[in-house]
């Protein structure tokens, strides 16, 4: 994998472009925890996990030719380390130009990303997924206890502000878009 300096520089460029400001928590129909993180890159979430984790890239699509050429190689990755080794050099202007990404991580987490700026995380392992979201919040400059307030108010899109403020809550994604 790339040196710590290259890794940290790439992650910093992603952080400069993607700044978490909307979060939704809900339970799925089969009683799993589900979090939606708006303005969060899949790479911002994935780099918080152990690089030894096994993965299964279920779907990936990019309109960019240089990404499309790597799709089969990306789909063949069996660990997060292999995935990051291929994907990090493809980051440009703080973004991984991928339109659709879905992957299963271990048997712990399902990650789905749209335009690599909206991430949905689903897991039946509450401790694991909530710990991951707290880590993401902390790295983004939020107080991790903000997660407790969000979980107590499920099924709402929460507009959040550092360090631990729920600035507004919305019933629908359309209301979120109208507020932008």
pLDDT in tens, 92-140: 888 899 999 999 999 999 999 998 889 999 999 999 999 999 999 999 9
pLDDT at 116: 83
pLDDT top residue among 19 and 103 = 103
pLDDT at 7: 74
Domain parsing of the chain, residue ranges: 4-179
pTM for the complete prediction? 0.94
Instruction: Give me the phi and psi of 92, to 5 degrees please.
Output: -140, 135
With tokens 């710590």, the residue in question is 4
**Whole-number pLDDT of residue 3:** 63
Which residue from 37, 52, 56, 30 is spatially nearest to 113, judged by alpha carbons? 37
Residues 150-177: what's their mean pLDDT? 97
In the chain, pLDDT over 70 holds for what percent of residues? Answer: 97
What does the H/E/C string look like for the chain?
A: CCCHHHHHHHHHHHHHHCCCCEEEEEECCCCCEEEEEECCCHHHHHCCCCCCCEEEEEEEECCCHHHHCCHHHHHCCCEHHHHHHHHHHHCECCECCCCEEEEEECCCEEEEEECCCEEEEEECCHHHHHHHHHHHHHHCCCCCCHHHHHHHCCCCEEEEECCCEEEEEECCHHHHHHHC
Q: What is the mean pLDDT of residues 158-180?
A: 96
Residue 22 CB neighbours (<10 A): 20
Per residue in 34-87, pLDDT (tens digit) is: 999 999 999 999 999 999 999 999 999 999 999 999 999 999 999 999 999 999
Residue 175 pLDDT more than 90? yes
Residue 2, pLDDT > 70, answer: no
Which pLDDT score, from 0 to 100, does residue 1 have? 62
């Amino acid at each position: 994998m790339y040196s710590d300096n290259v890794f940290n520089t790439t992650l910093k460029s992603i952080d400069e472009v993607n700044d978490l400001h909307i979060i939704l928590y809900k339970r799925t129909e089969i009683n799993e925890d589900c979090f939606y993180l708006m303005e969060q890159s899949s790479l911002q979430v994935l780099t918080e996990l152990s690089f030894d984790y096994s993965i299964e890239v279920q779907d990936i699509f990019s309109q960019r030719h240089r990404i499309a050429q790597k799709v089969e190689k990306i789909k063949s990755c069996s660990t997060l380390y292999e995935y990051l080794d291929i994907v990090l050099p493809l980051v440009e202007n703080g973004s991984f130009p991928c339109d659709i990404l879905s992957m299963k991580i271990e048997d712990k987490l399902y990650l789905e990303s749209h335009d690599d700026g909206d991430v949905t995380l689903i897991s039946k392992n509450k401790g694991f997924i909530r710990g991951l979201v707290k880590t993401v919040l902390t790295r983004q400059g939020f107080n991790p206890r903000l997660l407790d307030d969000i979980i107590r108010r499920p099924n709402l899109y929460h507009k959040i502000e550092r360090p631990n403020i729920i600035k507004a809550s919305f019933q629908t994604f359309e209301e979120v878009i109208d507020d932008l």
